[in-house]
Amino acid sequence: MRILIRTSKWAILARRLGSLAIPLIVFAVLLHRGQLIASNIFAVAAAMAATVAALAVLVGLLALARLWSTGDQGWGLAIAGVLMGLACLAPVAWFASLALHFPPATDIATTDRSLLPLVLEPDTALMPPAQTLPPAQLEAVFPNVKTRSYPLDAQQAYEIVLRMVTEHGWDIGLERAPATPAGTGLIDARIVTLAGWREEAVLRVAGTAEGASVDMRSASINAWHDFGSNGSRIEAFLVALDTEVTTLLRDNPNANQPVDTDPAATTSPLEAAPAS
Residue 265 is classified by DSSP as: G
Q: Is residue 247 assigned to a domain?
A: yes
Q: What is the pLDDT of residue 259?
A: 47
Q: State the average pLDDT over residues 25-49.
A: 89
Q: Is residue 271 assigned to a domain?
A: no
Q: State the average pLDDT over residues 27-47.
A: 89
Q: What is the pLDDT of residue 276?
A: 37
- Please indicate, yes or no, whether residues 206 and 129 belong to a single structural domain of this protein: yes
Q: pLDDT by residue (tens digit) across 56-77? A: 999 999 999 988 888 778 899 9
Q: What is the pLDDT of residue 125?
A: 46
Q: Is residue 256 assigned to a domain?
A: no
Q: Is residue 258 assigned to a domain?
A: no
Boundary of a domain, candidates 71, 101, 131: 101
Q: What is the pLDDT of residue 122?
A: 56
- Please indicate, yes or no, whether residues 136 and 243 belong to a single structural domain of this protein: yes
- Please indicate, yes or no, whether residues 158 and 193 belong to a single structural domain of this protein: yes
By residue range, what is the domain housing residue 166?
A: 107-251
Closest CA to 232 of 122, 138, 131, 111: 138
Q: State the average pLDDT over residues 243-252.
A: 92
pTM (predicted TM-score)? 0.80
Q: How many CB atoms lie under 10 A from the CB of residue 35? A: 11
Domain count, the chain: 2
- Please indicate, yes or no, whether residues 172 and 240 belong to a single structural domain of this protein: yes
Q: What is the mean pLDDT of the chain?
A: 86
Q: pLDDT by residue (tens digit) across 174-211? A: 999 999 999 999 999 999 988 888 999 999 999 999 89
Q: Is residue 217 assigned to a domain?
A: yes
Q: Is residue 69 assigned to a domain?
A: yes
Give CA–CA dist 114/124, Å, rounded. Answer: 15
Is the model's pLDDT at 272 over the cut of 50? no
- Please indicate, yes or no, whether residues 227 and 117 belong to a single structural domain of this protein: yes
- Please indicate, yes or no, whether residues 187 and 202 belong to a single structural domain of this protein: yes
- Please indicate, yes or no, whether residues 125 and 247 belong to a single structural domain of this protein: yes
- Please indicate, yes or no, whether residues 142 and 190 belong to a single structural domain of this protein: yes
Q: CATH code at 228?
A: 3.30.310
Q: What is the CA radius of gyration of the chain?
A: 28
How crowded is the C-beta side of 123, counted as CA atoms within 13 Å? 2
174's enclosing H/E stretch is strand 171-176
Q: What is the pLDDT of residue 252?
A: 85
Handedness of CA 116, 118, 119, 124 (dihedral sign): negative
What is the band of 128 on the pLDDT scale with cuts at 50, 70, 90? low
Q: Is residue 272 assigned to a domain?
A: no
Boundary of a domain, candidates 86, 101, 116: 101
Q: Is residue 265 assigned to a domain?
A: no
Classify 69 as helix, strand or coil: helix
Q: pLDDT by residue (tens digit) across 145-159? A: 999 999 999 999 999
Give CA–CA dist 27/34, Å, rounded. Answer: 10
What is the band of 164 on the pLDDT scale with cuts at 50, 70, 90? very high
- Please indicate, yes or no, whether residues 128 and 193 belong to a single structural domain of this protein: yes
Q: What is the pLDDT of residue 39?
A: 81
- Please indicate, yes or no, whether residues 197 and 115 belong to a single structural domain of this protein: yes
Boundary of a domain, candidates 85, 101, 117: 101
Q: State the average pLDDT over residues 105-128.
A: 78
- Please indicate, yes or no, whether residues 91 and 210 belong to a single structural domain of this protein: no
- Please indicate, yes or no, whether residues 137 and 239 belong to a single structural domain of this protein: yes
Is the model's pLDDT at 5 over the cut of 80? no
What is the band of 274 on the pLDDT scale with cuts at 50, 70, 90? very low
